[in-house]
Amino acid sequence: MRKLILFLLALVCYKAAFSQDIIPGYVTESKAAQLEGSKGLFLKVEYFKKKVVAINEVEMIPAMITNIRTGDKTPYVIVKTKEEGSTTRYTSIIDYDEIPSCIEALEYIMTTEITSKPNNEVHVFIMTKDALRIGATSEIYAGSRKWKTTFTHGKYIGNPRTDILAKNIKKVIEQLSSAKEVLDENLN
């Protein structure tokens, strides 16, 4: 009996620690995510992976949903991350209309924020309609300050975060710009 209780306790702890469950009651504001989850619609989803370059544990994939019946197209970017040392992948969406704001915010972070040396821990980010926070974090380790580029998925329990080197923020901007170009080409 004691072994059974310990096993069940370990199972509950494992589930809590490695859960990728979405927060109960979470409703996305992303048009693309809502379309993908719609019932009764006849949809075609295209993934433009040709120009996708992974930046450490982060992938940004341009995609397009087409409503077969109406011909309406909804472009977006899928952001897939993996926490360091884990095999669990997390996915969030950036709607097409959010891409310029994300690029603008990341350029500001790259030229202004990560060049500073704050005395406190600082989080600077932009949040998408699908609760993805992209930004930078300044953390203090043993007296030294270090900036990291961060991707935090707010729709998942535990808000999993993936960090990449701050210098890679330029590559993130390039990938978002490239994704927008691919989507622009395929909108016509």
pLDDT per position as a tens digit, 15-33: 444 445 777 767 788 888 8
CB 126 within 8 A of CB 133: yes
Q: Given this model, what pLDDT does residue 142 score?
A: 67
pLDDT digits (tens, 9 = 90+) for 29-54: 888 888 888 888 899 999 998 767 77
Which pair of structure tokens corresponds to residue 58? 């982060």
Residue 83 has pLDDT above 80, yes or no: no
Of residues 27 and 160, more confidence is placed in 160
At 13, the pLDDT band (50, 70, 90 cuts) reads very low
Sequence-distant (≥ 6) Cβ neighbours of residue 155 within 8 angstroms: 22, 23, 26, 28, 92, 130, 131
Strand, helix or coil for residue 117: coil
Q: Of 142, 143, 139, whose CA–CA distance to 161 is shortest?
A: 139
> 43-47 and 122-127: which strand pairing?
unpaired
Furthest C-alpha separation in the chain = 65
Mean pLDDT of the chain: 83
* Predicted confidence band of residue 5 (pLDDT cuts 50, 70, 90): very low
Domain boundaries, the chain: 24-187
Does domain 24-187 sit in CATH 3.30.2450.30?
Answer: yes
Regarding pTM above 0.85, the answer is no
What's the average model confidence in pLDDT over 111-136? 89
